[in-house]
Each structure stands twice: as C-alpha cells, then as structure tokens.
Amino acid sequence: MNANDNDLSALLDFDLLKRLVVGIGEVSEITGIPTRKIRYWEDKGAIQSENETEGSTRRYNYLNVKKMLLIQEMLDEGFTLDSAIKKVEKRMIAMDEAFKKLADTLEDE
C-alpha cells in the first residue's frame, strides 16, 4: 500500500461514511464555508440537514458536505449559485449511476 492508498482509506470506509454526520459549526470550520451560507443553501434546496427535531443543531452527512465543497468550488470558478447547484446535482447523479454499475459488476464476479 502506498501513501496515496492511505490518503483514500477513509473515503473507502463505507461504514464510517454512513455514520459521518457533523454539526453545522464543524462543517463550517472544516470547509471554510460560513454557517450563514450553509443555511442559505439549505433554504434553496441544494443540501439537506439531518435534523431530528425542529430547533436542533443542523447536522450534515458525508454526501451533503461533499455537495457543499463542490458548490463552493464552482462559485469560486465564477458559476452562479443556481448553475452550480444544477451542475452538482448532475454530477452526483452521474457518480451514483457509475457506482451502481460498479457494484453490479462486482456482484457478478
């Protein structure tokens, strides 16, 4: 196993990724995206929190954090928020379809 394999090991730990849910403050600190912007994106429907009850701290899973990072990257490249959201949604659908095909291929072996 080389250094790159070690860097990606957390991304391949599916059990960890399913359990990875962090609060809005942690997401903001880790990604550098202000909490106000994260709330706005949620209001726009770009991301979804894992709120159990109203008034509780907003918490986000791995896929929503990934969406936030992709949206911010596209905004940094000059996309509008609406076009960034559309592009990220298309990308997430394409990735989901590719991984489903990969999973089907592995099941056939």
- Give the model confidence (pLDDT) of 11-33 as tens digits: 556 666 677 898 999 999 999 99
pTM: 0.75
Mean pLDDT of the chain: 84
Asked whether residue 53 carries a pLDDT value surpassing 70, the answer given is no
**Tokens for 50?**
């894992």
Q: For residue 56, count other CB atoms closer than 10 A to its CB.
A: 11
| Gap between the Cα atoms of 34 and 43, Å rounded | 14
pLDDT for the residue 103: 79
CA distances from 47 to 23, 53, 104, 105, 106 (A): 14, 17, 28, 30, 30
pLDDT for the residue 57: 83
More confident of the two residues 38 and 10: 38
> What are 86-107's pLDDT values in tens digits?
999 999 899 888 888 887 887 7
Q: Which residues, 6 or more positions from 52, have their beta carbon under 8 angstroms from its beta carbon? A: none
Asked whether residue 77 carries a pLDDT value surpassing 90, the answer given is yes
> Which ranges in the chain belong to alpha helices (H)?
3-8, 14-19, 24-31, 35-44, 62-76, 81-108
| Gap between the Cα atoms of 90 and 50, Å rounded | 22
